């Protein structure tokens, strides 16, 4: 045990009831940890048991689930090699929390993410890969545990553990990667001046080939992510959670064989993954099935919303009609701005107005108007009015003759 841990243990003995966790760290943990999470009182037993509990109960256990089922908000590195303050000498950003086991001196380093990374089947793959590559790089530089899957971590708020708080502010993925000092020149062949971080990653890959193939996701995470996507689609076909978990276990064995033929995950781990997914599907997904009362409430809300939108646009339609009737020379953009709707909506309104006008045209007797008066009214030449009147007289004469022929 290093002098750093011994000092912290002595401080804990002197102030057993005093919590030194900064308020910013505590608030971030309470806000972003899952509302319901897996937890375990101890992982030392041969078959450790984990339970799915509410957050306020789960935080009383030594180990908790840090990340949500569909979101990564934390990066956790399991370091059994270095001293807790090794980040001072390594090319890595300072962790937000270093959780130390006072018995062994081993620690886990927590990095907070400012923006969570979605891990659902619909999330962007390039962002997921960026997150996983960041985890891999940090793990490689620390020479952390290659088999650690991040599903359970030491609880920072548990009184048994000792914590350091090197940084209060969360990171972005770009900040974490830039803090390692790796550049494009490190990947060029024949470059003698490669960064320390890149050299440590190369060495780590040689020692842990199973990790380099998956870029930090770990065997557990890979099997978990592939299996849960299939499980979400077929869980409604099963009547009991036990039958579903059993089939998921067989499916997990196939995935394990295909993805990791040289270094497969033990059957006991596969069993835990299958049981965890089956439990989630039966306790969470099935509770989201919509009841008939909920559907009826949504119908009413949708109808109310439709009426509200309809009344809003009816006011805009009426205003558009008034503006256009008052001044037909107004531009579409001007009417749209005054009615607070889009230009496309105004164009559709104007089409309706013109159709209404065409269907309700008033017949006006122009026989008492002179050619000059009609030319001024229509905005055309006098000669044009004369031609129109002559064509109208000829058309009327032809219509009368045709009617007489049909009658005779």
Measuring CA to CA, which residue among 83, 82, 49, 77 is closest to residue 63?
49
Q: What is the pLDDT along the chain (408 residues), one digit of tens a residue?
A: 454 555 555 555 554 544 578 889 999 999 999 998 888 887 666 566 778 888 889 898 999 999 988 889 999 999 888 888 888 889 999 999 999 988 888 899 999 999 999 887 677 878 888 898 899 889 889 988 877 878 889 999 988 888 999 999 999 999 998 899 887 777 777 777 888 888 888 888 777 654 444 443 467 777 887 888 888 888 888 888 888 999 999 999 888 887 777 667 788 888 888 888 888 888 877 665 555 555 666 677 666 665 556 666 778 888 888 888 788 778 888 888 888 888 888 888 888 877 776 555 455 666 777 888 888 777 788 888 888 888 888 888 888 888 787 766
pLDDT, position 361: 46
Which residues, in sequence order, are CB contacts of 49 under 8 Å at separation 6+?
Answer: 40
**DSSP per residue, 306-364:** HHHHHHHHHHHHHHHHHHHHH-TT--HHHHHHHHTS-HHHHHHHHHHHHHHHHHTPPP-
Residue 1: predicted pLDDT:
43
- The domain defined by 306-359 folds into Arc Repressor Mutant, subunit A (1.10.10)
DSSP string computed for 250-287 = HHHHHHHHHH-SSSPPPHHHHHHHHHHHHHHIIIIIGG
Among candidate residues 279, 285, 277, the one with its CA nearest the CA of residue 228: 277
Q: At what angle do helices 371-378 and 382-407 cross, to 10 degrees?
A: 110
Q: What's the pLDDT at 305?
A: 60
* Residue in 55, 71, 38, 47 with CA at minimum distance from that of residue 225: 71
Which H helix or E strand runs over 144? none
What CATH number should be reported for the domain whose range is 217-289?
Answer: 1.10.340.50
Q: What pLDDT is attached to residue 306?
A: 58
Give the three-class secondary structure for 291. Answer: coil
At 66 the pLDDT is: 92
Q: What is the pLDDT of residue 209?
A: 58
Q: 232-264 in b/e burial notation, b at 16+ Cβ within 10 A?
A: eeebeebeebeebbbebbebbbebbeebbeeeb
What pLDDT was estimated at residue 386?
Answer: 87
What pLDDT does residue 320 have? 84
- Six token digits for residue 10: 């002595």
State how far Cα 129 lies from the chain centre.
15
pLDDT at residue 96, rounded to an integer: 94
Q: Cα separation of 158 and 100, whole Å?
A: 11
Query: Torsions phi, psi of 78, nearest 5?
Result: -90, 110
Which of 159, 163, 151 is CA-nearest to residue 60? 159
Domain ranges within the chain, ordered by starting residue: 3-215, 217-289, 306-359, 371-407
Residue 86 host element (H or E): none
Q: Which residue, among 355, 345, 356, 357, has the nearest Cα to 316 in the 3D structure? A: 345
pTM for the whole structure: 0.53
Query: What pLDDT is attached to residue 349?
Result: 82
């Amino acid at each position: 045990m290093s002098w750093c841990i011994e000092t912290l243990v002595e401080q804990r003995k002197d102030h057993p009831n005093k919590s030194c966790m900064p308020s910013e760290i505590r608030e971030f943990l309470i806000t972003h940890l899952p509302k319901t999470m897996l937890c375990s009182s101890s992982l030392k037993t041969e078959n450790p048991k984990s339970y799915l509990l509410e957050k306020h109960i789960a935080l009383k256990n030594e180990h908790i689930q840090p990340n949500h089922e569909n979101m990564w908000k934390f990066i956790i590195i399991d370091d059994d090699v270095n001293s807790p303050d090794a980040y001072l000498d390594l090319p890595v950003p300072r962790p937000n929390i270093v959780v130390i086991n006072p018995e062994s001196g081993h620690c886990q380093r927590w990095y907070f993410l400012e923006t969570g990374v979605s891990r659902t089947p619909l999330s962007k793959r390039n962002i997921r890969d960026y997150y996983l590559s960041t985890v891999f790089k940090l793990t490689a530089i620390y020479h952390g545990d290659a088999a650690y899957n991040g599903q359970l971590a030491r609880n920072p708020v548990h009184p048994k553990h000792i914590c350091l708080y090197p940084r209060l502010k969360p990171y972005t993925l770009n900040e974490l990667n830039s803090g390692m000092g790796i550049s494009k020149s490190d990947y060029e062949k024949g470059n003698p001046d490669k960064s320390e971080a890149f050299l440590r990653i190369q060495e780590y890959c040689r020692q842990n080939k199973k990790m380099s193939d998956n870029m930090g996701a770990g065997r557990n995470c890979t099997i978990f992510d592939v299996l849960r996507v299939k499980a979400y689609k077929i869980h409604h076909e099963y009547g009991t959670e036990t039958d579903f978990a059993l089939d998921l276990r067989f499916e997990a064995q196939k995935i394990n064989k295909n993805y990791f033929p040289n270094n497969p995950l033990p059957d006991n781990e596969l069993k835990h993954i299958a049981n965890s997914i089956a439990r989630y599907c039966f306790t969470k997904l099935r509770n989201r099935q919509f009841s008939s009362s909920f559907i009826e409430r949504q119908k009413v809300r949708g109808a109310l919303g439709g009426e509200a939108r309809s009344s809003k646009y009816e006011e805009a339609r009426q205003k558009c009609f008034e503006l256009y009737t008052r001044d037909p020379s107004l531009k579409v953009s001007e009417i749209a701005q005054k009615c607070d709707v889009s230009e496309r909506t105004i164009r559709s309104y104007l089409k309706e107005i013109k159709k209404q006008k065409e269907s309700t045209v008033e017949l006006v007797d122009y026989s008492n108007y002179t050619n000059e008066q009609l030319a001024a009214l229509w905005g055309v030449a006098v000669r044009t009015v004369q031609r129109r009147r002559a064509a109208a007289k000829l058309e009327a004469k032809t219509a009368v003759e045709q009617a007489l022929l049909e009658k005779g």
